[in-house]
Chains A and B, each alone.
Chain A
Amino acid sequence: MKAVESEMKRRRVLTRLLSYSRPDKRRWLWAVGLLMVATAGDVTGPYLIKRFIDNYLTPGHFPTSPLVLLSVIYLSVYAISAAARYIQAILLSRIALGAVERIRNELFAGILRRPLAFFDHTPTGSLVSRITNDTEAVKDLFVQVIATTIQNSLLIIGIFIAMALLDWRLMLVAVAIMPLMLAAMWTYQRMSTPIFQRARQLVSDINTRLNESLQAMGLIQALNQQRRFRREFDDTVDAHYQTRLRSVTLDGIMLRALMNFFDMLVLAGLLTVFGYHALQHVAEIGVIYAFINYVHRFTEPMVEMTQRLNLLQQALVAGQRIFGLMAAAPPTHGGTATPVTEGHIAVHDVSFSYDKVQPVLKNIDLDIRAGEFVAIVGHTGSGKSTLASLLLRFHRPDQGDIRIDGMPLAEMAEGPLRRAVVPVLQDPFIVDGTIADNIALGLPLTDEAIAEAGRAAQLDDWVERLAQGYHTPLRERGQNLSTGQRQLICLARALARQPKVLILDEATAHIDSHTERRIQQALENLRGRVTQVVIAHRLSTITAADRIVVLHQGEIVQQGSHRELLRVEGLYRHLYQLQEMAVSPQASVEAEAQK
């Protein structure tokens, strides 16, 4: 029962994979048509030689013009067949690659539309593997399995047709071997699949062991366990060797040698039947010549198809995983498309937990006026970055609601929300491209608008010193820039969008004090025009805020201006003192290092 079910499932996966090549219907028709032409040409060649042998050579009769005609036909058949074969191969590749392109694009677009929580739970490595390696396996399915199966089956059918036309009795000899060949293919599949699976498993075991050992060789040595690990590694390598030996043995018995064996059996059968026939009648020598030619073309396609069927298994497994990822429909957001004009944020009774067990935010109430500069501070794990995530709709609150200009955040359309509420995140994200590309990030901005944003982000005096200015390309995702420079580019990117609400989530965590002052200056210039929510670990950045909200374990414990909060004995004051003190021991280290 289960086997039938999985067989059905596999068939569905295959059908769905194939359906991606449906838009290429015209190419399909052309490819198959040309393939038929090429196959016809392939099987015509030996037939023409047969005609030459039987009609002219055996009787010893050589009239000029029919012979010239025959030669011309023979040579043009090969030329046409070669051309047709080449073009159909390219067409089939195009169809295959087109289908894989569609699968890749749909998968990638689908994954990007997933909510952020999905990315928190799924390791990046496995997603990358789905998008690249699994689709590559599907590519192999199209290019290697499907294309060769079509080509080879047509060739075999063509050969049988030509044989039947020449001499149906001799054809039966060749046909008689087909069930044996198919049985061999089937048996090989049955027997090789478990061996291949085991070999693949062992390869992955070897790699895991090797990878872990290489990462932790120091530890293995410190524990004096080299010998044991080596023994275990050797055991895996030996097991793999034994398994591969079994697969080599199976290949040896079932694949090429066996097909060659059938080939020779057919030859023996053909010669016997032909000779037996010739004992009684006059035989056409050309017929046996053509048959021998045909039989030899059998072996290779059969071996090829048998071997490549293994790729099918892998591709189906990959396909299953791919469709599994495509399956879950991404949530659609509400359609309130009213633009944000003020930037007033109201957080009402919001609670949130990542795992539904450990609360991260508890009943947060916060009203941020349009144009207000609010800082949110707290020690590690206080929930301040989570609050920013909720404001950006990366996650949805479990309880309570957030409104912007009175509109519930959950019901806003993507466009106006992303236009109005813009963040600068902790890890500056730089794409390959110029500085201008990175500031625009897809928006159609003029050079002036980009320069304007650069100025506002205090970026311009650095950029102007570059030979190509804003058109300087950033390679390797900006690895050659300092974190501060990358962060200023990200700030310019945010400002270029002329947001109503600017959210800085630990944007100054890893940058030097010089850049920090620049960012402070940039923010100061926005005061009153743009609502600013600044999540900061370093308190020196936010002393100028209109209001500072102090979080502890998901709750607001203090609120007020820097001066007000410093005046009272409490968490903010201690946080501040802590950072003031941190400067002194650190400074002594830096001084020491410079000596």
Chain B
Amino acid sequence: MSIFWRLGWFFRLERWRYGKAVLALLSVALLSMVPPRVTGWLIDRVQSHTLTGRELAWVGGGLTLLAVVVYVLRVFWRIWLFGASLRLSALLRERLYEHLSRLSPVFYQRHKVGDLMARATNDIEAVQMTAGEGVLAMIDGLLTGVVVLILMTTLISWQLTLVALLPWPIMAVFMYRFGNAMHRDFFQAQNRFGDLNDHVQEALSGIRTIKAYGREAAEGERFAGLVRSASEANLAVARTDGKYEPVIVVTMGASFFLAVSFGAWLITQGRLTLGDLTSFTMYLGFLIWPMFAFGWLLNIVERGSAAYERVQHVLNTEEPIADTGQRAAPEKVALALQVERFAYPEQSLCALSHIDIALTSGQTLGIVGPVGCGKTTLFSLLLRLYEPQAGHILLNGHDIAEYRQSTLRDTFAYVPQDSFLFSMSVADNIALARPDASREEVVRAAALAAVDEDIQRFSDGYDTLVGERGVTLSGGQKQRIAIARALLREAPALILDDALSAVDLQTERQILGHLREARRGITTLIATHRLSAVEDADWIIVLEAGRITEQGTHTDLLALDGWYARTHAWQKLEQQVHEGR
């Protein structure tokens, strides 16, 4: 139940709605006690032949009025209580998103998207249940139960109450056991459904083998087996679920039987009237809900607590790198990359070491080397996602830690190899960093990235939607849109992290040509697998296992006859083969 404490901040925040809801609930609980009492009174009057027409009119009119009042109260507590609980989920969702938007890519490497999604959806819903249905079950269940019991014992007969409630503990035990069994069966059913899902995934991913081996029928049978066990698991749920009603029916039947028999005896003794007995059996019916509410509450609280913990865990994750820089955004970028030693957290292997390169404003640096040599790591340090253990990176002579993160991001327009496109129009995707950019600016950026012609060919041009409900783009088109996106930012430095890998050689040449014209004064860093992209760079470094093994201009490196020269010859031949020669 400590979850209600931990949600205390929210109950205080929404104290008005909760307060009104609780008051309304209390009023409903009390007012609902009136009709049974009136019924009993009327029956006694009828039996003793003392009922008058005037009284009857009062009963009819009064009950109708009461019905209206209770209706209004019921409508409002629902709106207040559930409205408040909905606000909690909206609030938590927004907080979670806000927090997630401050966590760096390092966090995202450690957490799966699916898991985070589950926290933002299912878990938050479970917390919402706690603040809505949970509060209802606790307050209303308890309230109704107590009020009814008090009325039954004080107004009618405590002996009768005791006797009539004899079968109830048995029902409580059963309800509790069913609750547990239900939980278990439901879990099983979920798992079997998961198996089904996995099998369909598996079969569809191996559809070629299945077809080539004529296995369609056999796979169908295997699937049928899993469907069967999913059905069995669901049947187990139905079996438990089906027990609730009979147990309630039998207990209530027994309880009514005891109430009426014992009540009849009390009546013959003159200690009870028939009207009292009628009111009493009506009250008895009111006790089912509190009974049920209790089991429900335990279940909701259990799920809510676990869910809230998982949500809080994300909310309590802090960024390890402090963002306290003050320096103004630079207009030109001169860089000194001096990384003595860098290893990823919790890894002993050095990802980068002995790097020392300087770059003046407007220069182009090419970074090449085999897979996993440290190119992207170097950029991660430059963007301050990590900090080197020894060494520093200077931007215009100042350590990058002296700049705000947002300033750094505005300074370096970074284009990764796999760029992400959002489900919005092509134009919006290009103008992602500058939503205010005019269509002309967007088109100009697209033209520089040599993707304008492709976009013109889409059904709605720049307004074509991207993604599931829109057009599917090739890898090369995606990369070029990402480049257009970066160019539109007009940042003083541009980083291309293998951002041309899916573009053919001719287009690559075209884009680089455009860049050379457009980016005068802009400092550029190009990491690439294809050497042709850095041939014209002012300086090229070859990274191998985190260290610079060769450096110089294109001509220098060819003369060295090392990795660069070998790779260059190989790529030339590859191009030849690609052209069918």
Whether chain B is bound by chain A comes out as yes
Which residues of A are at the interface with B, using a C-beta cutoff of 8 A? 42, 45, 49, 52-53, 56-58, 60, 62, 71, 74-75, 78-79, 81-83, 85-86, 89-90, 93-94, 97-98, 100-101, 104-105, 108-109, 112-113, 116, 119, 124, 127-128, 131-132, 136, 139, 143, 206-208, 210-226, 228-230, 233-234, 237-238, 240-241, 244-245, 248-249, 251-253, 256-258, 260-261, 264-265, 267-269, 271-272, 274-276, 278-279, 283, 285, 288-289, 292-293, 296, 379-380, 392, 394, 414-415, 417-419, 421-423, 425, 429, 431-432, 441-442, 477, 490, 493, 497, 552-553, 557, 571, 574-575, 577-578, 581-582, 584-586, 588-589, 592-593, 595
In the complex, B347 has a CB within 8 A of chain A: no
Contacts of B149 in A (CB 8 A): none
Asked if residues B234 and A93 are in contact (CB atoms below 8 Å), the reply is yes
> Measured between alpha carbons, how far is A432 from B25 in the docked complex, in Å?
55
Asked if residues B59 and A116 are in contact (CB atoms below 8 Å), the reply is no
Residue of B64, B121, B228, B423 touching A268 (CB-CB under 8 A): B64
Beyond contacts A248-B83, A251-B82, A257-B75: 5 other A-B pairs, Cβ-Cβ < 8 A, are A45-B253, A75-B257, A112-B207, A422-B213, A432-B202
The chain A residue sitting closest to B43, CB to CB, is A285
The chain B residue sitting closest to A234, CB to CB, is B94
Give the shortest distance, in Å, between B33 (CB) and chain A (any CB).
13
Contacts of A557 in B (CB 8 A): 580
Known: A422-B213, A425-B212. A252 touches B100 (CB 8 A): no
Asked if residues A441 and B71 are in contact (CB atoms below 8 Å), the reply is no
User: Nearest 4 pairs between A and B by C-beta?
Assistant: A418-B214, A78-B253, A93-B238, A82-B246
> Measured between alpha carbons, how far is A42 from B245 in the docked complex, in Å?
11
Asked if residues B260 and A49 are in contact (CB atoms below 8 Å), the reply is yes
Give the shortest distance, in Å, between B77 (CB) and chain A (any CB).
8
The secondary structure that dominates the A interface is helix
Asked if residues B570 and A581 are in contact (CB atoms below 8 Å), the reply is yes
How many of B's residues come within 8 Å of A, CB to CB?
A: 135
Contacts of A215 in B (CB 8 A): 113, 420
The chain A residue sitting closest to B412, CB to CB, is A222
In the complex, B182 has a CB within 8 A of chain A: no
Asked if residues B38 and A271 are in contact (CB atoms below 8 Å), the reply is yes
In the complex, B463 has a CB within 8 A of chain A: no
Residue of B103, B113, B212, B581 touching A423 (CB-CB under 8 A): B212
Known: A94-B235, A230-B97. A279 touches B56 (CB 8 A): yes
Give the shortest distance, in Å, between B20 (CB) and chain A (any CB).
13
Known: A222-B414, A240-B90. A256 touches B202 (CB 8 A): no
Asked if residues A128 and B60 are in contact (CB atoms below 8 Å), the reply is no
In the complex, B243 has a CB within 8 A of chain A: yes
Give the shortest distance, in Å, between B338 (CB) and chain A (any CB).
23
Residue of B274, B435, B577 touching A379 (CB-CB under 8 A): B577
Asked if residues A392 and B274 are in contact (CB atoms below 8 Å), the reply is no
> Measured between alpha carbons, how far is A268 from B42 in the docked complex, in Å?
11
Known: A264-B70, A379-B578. A230 touches B238 (CB 8 A): no
Asked if residues B216 and A222 are in contact (CB atoms below 8 Å), the reply is no
Asked if residues A213 and B216 are in contact (CB atoms below 8 Å), the reply is no
Asked if residues A260 and B56 are in contact (CB atoms below 8 Å), the reply is no
Known: A78-B253, A275-B56. A220 touches B51 (CB 8 A): no
Asked if residues B51 and A592 are in contact (CB atoms below 8 Å), the reply is no
Contacts of A119 in B (CB 8 A): 204, 207
Asked if residues B75 and A224 are in contact (CB atoms below 8 Å), the reply is no
A-B contacts, 23 of them at CB < 8 A, read A74-B253, A86-B243, A89-B241, A108-B203, A108-B223, A113-B216, A119-B207, A210-B120, A210-B121, A213-B100, A217-B103, A218-B416, A221-B105, A221-B409, A222-B383, A230-B98, A252-B78, A285-B46, A432-B202, A442-B215, A585-B370, A585-B567, A588-B563
A-facing mask of B225-262, CB < 8 A → 1, else 0?
00110010011001101110111011001101100110
Contacts of A104 in B (CB 8 A): 223, 227
> Measured between alpha carbons, how far is A234 from B78 in the docked complex, in Å?
25
Contacts of A293 in B (CB 8 A): 281
The chain B residue sitting closest to A570, CB to CB, is B581
> Measured between alpha carbons, how far is A143 from B570 in the docked complex, in Å?
65
Contacts of B447 in A (CB 8 A): none
Asked if residues B35 and A90 are in contact (CB atoms below 8 Å), the reply is no
Give the shortest distance, in Å, between B159 (CB) and chain A (any CB).
18
Contacts of A62 in B (CB 8 A): 264, 268
Q: For residues 153 through 177 of chain B, which have their beta carbon under 8 Å from a beta carbon of chain A?
A: none
Contacts of A224 in B (CB 8 A): 406, 409-410, 433
Contacts of B485 in A (CB 8 A): 223
> Measured between alpha carbons, how far is A271 from B67 in the docked complex, in Å?
14
In the complex, B110 has a CB within 8 A of chain A: no
Known: A89-B242, A581-B566. A288 touches B43 (CB 8 A): yes
The secondary structure that dominates the B interface is helix
In the complex, B102 has a CB within 8 A of chain A: yes
The chain A residue sitting closest to B61, CB to CB, is A268
Contacts of A97 in B (CB 8 A): 231, 234-235, 238
Asked if residues A127 and B97 are in contact (CB atoms below 8 Å), the reply is no
Asked if residues A237 and B257 are in contact (CB atoms below 8 Å), the reply is no
The chain B residue sitting closest to A277, CB to CB, is B46
Residue of B94, B238, B247, B576 touching A233 (CB-CB under 8 A): B94
> Measured between alpha carbons, how far is A392 from B223 in the docked complex, in Å?
25
Known: A83-B246, A90-B239, A237-B94. A264 touches B35 (CB 8 A): yes
Which residues of B are at the interface with A, using a C-beta cutoff of 8 A? 35, 38-39, 42-43, 45-47, 51, 53, 56, 59-60, 63-64, 66-68, 70-71, 74-76, 78-79, 82-83, 86-87, 89-90, 93-94, 97-98, 100-105, 108, 113, 116-117, 120-121, 193, 196-197, 200-220, 223-224, 227-228, 231, 234-235, 238-239, 241-243, 245-247, 249-250, 253-254, 256-257, 260-261, 264, 267-268, 274, 278, 281-282, 285, 370-372, 383, 405-406, 409-410, 414, 416, 419-420, 422-423, 432-433, 435, 485, 489, 544-545, 563, 566-567, 569-570, 573-574, 576-578, 580-581
> Measured between alpha carbons, how far is A218 from B103 in the docked complex, in Å?
9
The chain A residue sitting closest to B242, CB to CB, is A89
Asked if residues A93 and B242 are in contact (CB atoms below 8 Å), the reply is yes
Asked if residues A214 and B116 are in contact (CB atoms below 8 Å), the reply is yes
Contacts of A442 in B (CB 8 A): 213, 215, 218
Q: Which of A75, A127, A222, A557 has the most CB of B within 10 A?
A: A222
Q: Which of A45, A210, A230 has the most CB of B within 10 A?
A: A210
Q: Which of B38, B218, B242, B544 has the most CB of A within 10 A?
A: B242
Q: Which of A267, A415, A588 has the most CB of B within 10 A?
A: A267
Asked if residues B212 and A392 are in contact (CB atoms below 8 Å), the reply is yes
> Measured between alpha carbons, how far is A267 from B556 in the docked complex, in Å?
99
The chain A residue sitting closest to B248, CB to CB, is A82
Residue of B42, B227, B432, B576 touching A271 (CB-CB under 8 A): B42
Contacts of B432 in A (CB 8 A): 223, 225
Residue of A143, A264, A285 touching B238 (CB-CB under 8 A): A143
Contacts of A272 in B (CB 8 A): 56, 59-60
Contacts of B285 in A (CB 8 A): 296
Contacts of B200 in A (CB 8 A): 108, 127-128, 131-132
> Measured between alpha carbons, how far is A234 from B228 in the docked complex, in Å?
43
> Measured between alpha carbons, how far is A304 from B121 in the docked complex, in Å?
26
> Measured between alpha carbons, how far is A245 from B85 in the docked complex, in Å?
10
Asked if residues A261 and B71 are in contact (CB atoms below 8 Å), the reply is yes
Contacts of B215 in A (CB 8 A): 441-442
Asked if residues B64 and A265 are in contact (CB atoms below 8 Å), the reply is yes
Known: A90-B242, A264-B63, A582-B570. A221 touches B75 (CB 8 A): no
Contacts of B371 in A (CB 8 A): 589
Known: A86-B243, A245-B86. A221 touches B104 (CB 8 A): yes
Give the shortest distance, in Å, between B581 (CB) and chain A (any CB).
7
> Measured between alpha carbons, how far is A493 from B404 in the docked complex, in Å?
60
Asked if residues B78 and A248 are in contact (CB atoms below 8 Å), the reply is yes
Known: A260-B74, A422-B213, A574-B576. A238 touches B90 (CB 8 A): yes
Contacts of B219 in A (CB 8 A): 112
Known: A230-B98, A264-B35, A581-B570. A212 touches B409 (CB 8 A): no
